[in-house]
Every structure is written in C-alpha cells, then in structure tokens.
Amino acid sequence: MSASEHVFRAVETPLFWLGAVTAAWLSVCSVYRLLAGIKVWVLGNGRLVSPAKLGKWAVVTGATDGIGKAYAEELARRGFAIVLISRAQEKLDEVSKAIESKYGVETKTITADFSSVNIYSHIEDELAGLEIGVLVNNVGISYSYPEFFLSVPNLDTFIDTLVNVNITSVCQMTRLVLPQMAERKKGAILNISSASGMYPVPLLTVYSASKAFVDFFSRGLQAEYKSKGIIIQSVLPFFVATKLSKIRRATLDTPSPERYVAAELNTVGLQAQTNGYLPHALMGWVSTALLPASILSRHVMGVTLSQRARYLKKQKQG
C-alpha cells in the first residue's frame, strides 16, 4: 500500500463524519427556516394586535396618507381607538370621520408638523390619560429626486428637515409613549424604516442613512425592553404604491398600502425586524444574503442615476 493510500484511509472516516454532520446541520437549518417561514407568512400572529392584548388606543403619525392611513384604518378595523397625527387639520378631520363612520371606533386628532422640534410638549399633553397599546412611527420624507449630496437643493434646510421628520420624531414619540407601556408591561411600537436602510442607497444617502438609524434604534430598544413585555419592531418595506414612492399602480411586488399593512401586522411579535410582506422578504433575502455588496452597490447606483437623469430631463422639457 502506497503512502498516499495510507493518508487517504487515515482521513476517510473523519471526512465522512464531517460531511454527514454538515449535511445534517444544513438539513436541520433548512427545515427550521421553512417552519419559521410558514409560521410568519402563512399562520401569522394576527390575534396579537388587538386592544384586549395591548391597550385601547393606537397612535399613528403621518396618518392621513399612504401607509400611515392604512395602519390607522386596519387598526381601527381591529377595534382600536385611533389617534391620528399629521400636519393638515383638514385631512385629519376627513380621515377621522371616515374611520369613525366605517369602523365605529373613537378617534382623536393632533395637528403637528414633525419638521419642527418644539411640538412634543403639545403632543404629550394631548396623549395624557390615554391607554396606548400601539404606536406606529410612520411619518417620513424622502428626496424629491435622487441627487448627489452636495447638489441637493437647499441642502442645509433639507438636512434639518429630514433628520427632524425621519429620526427625531421616532425617538421623541417613543419617549412619550414607552413609559406607560413599560408600566403596564404590554404594548407595541412599530417603527417604519425602509428597505433603503438595509444597505446604502447612493443619491438618496441622507434618506437611506436615516432609515438605517430607525432600524438600529428599533432593534436596540427591542433588546432592552423585550423582557419587559414590550414589542418594538423595525419595519423595512420595499416599494409600496404611495405618494412618497410616486408609484400609483399596485402590483404583486409593489402592493397597495392596505395590502402591505394587513400582511405586516401579522408579523408583529414574530419578527423584531421585518420586511412585512412575503415578496418583500424574498427581495430582502436576495439583496442582502445572495448578492455580493459590491454588485448590489453598483446596481443601486445605476438605478438611482437613471432615475436622476429621467427627472432632470423631464424638468428641462417642462
């Protein structure tokens, strides 16, 4: 027997068992992920988000359009009394009357411009005495079109406004609502981030970074308060057919706000960080787990450059 055959026989058994253990481990992981996926996307956790389990009132910021309005309506359908917060009283009144008429629940409106930082004492006074079971930190703004950082129109003002709306509002509204949830040892805070916060999006850099903050803030707080009975969830949707996304027609991968929110609420208590909607979850898995970061970065840069070019061309033609 040659020396090489001796070496092969010496390692044959260890290699066999290494391969067997690896295959078994991968099989177990695959089955676990399949079962977890079925639990989240098929069975869901829809019964958790209810006034009986969390508290009477749900507070929604940016509640008069898009995803925020859809959250307000879906939570009202589930029996919550709704606090609607937005900057336009006329729109607040319209949505408030529609919700009361359709779902028969109590509503309350608070006018607040989240681009300002001196609004929170007023909001605190208006929320005093309410048993708040759910807070949806939804209000947000983005770029009017993709642009290089130094070329963003009115950059100084834009930075302040975007940070106040997208970041400060999440921290301050959480500060106002979390103490009573912690005291009652129940409640849910849903912070609407964005898939743009899962990886850098050039030409939407400040928006992308602000949504990454929301994601990290949410996951950090969940680790802090999970043992106290509080659910804090980071919600990272891809495109939804809203005014903010400038997409009018809903499709399978770009759902209507109503379809997205109904799916997302079924993940509450099951996923601390969620894309909220099965097609979006698949897109998130492909973009973060399968694609190399360098390829993803080049692709996203190409998309935003193309969007910028189309916008500027349209402006010139106009």
CA-based nearest residue to 272, from 189, 150, 170: 189
Q: Report, as residue numbers or ranges, the catalytic residues.
A: 207
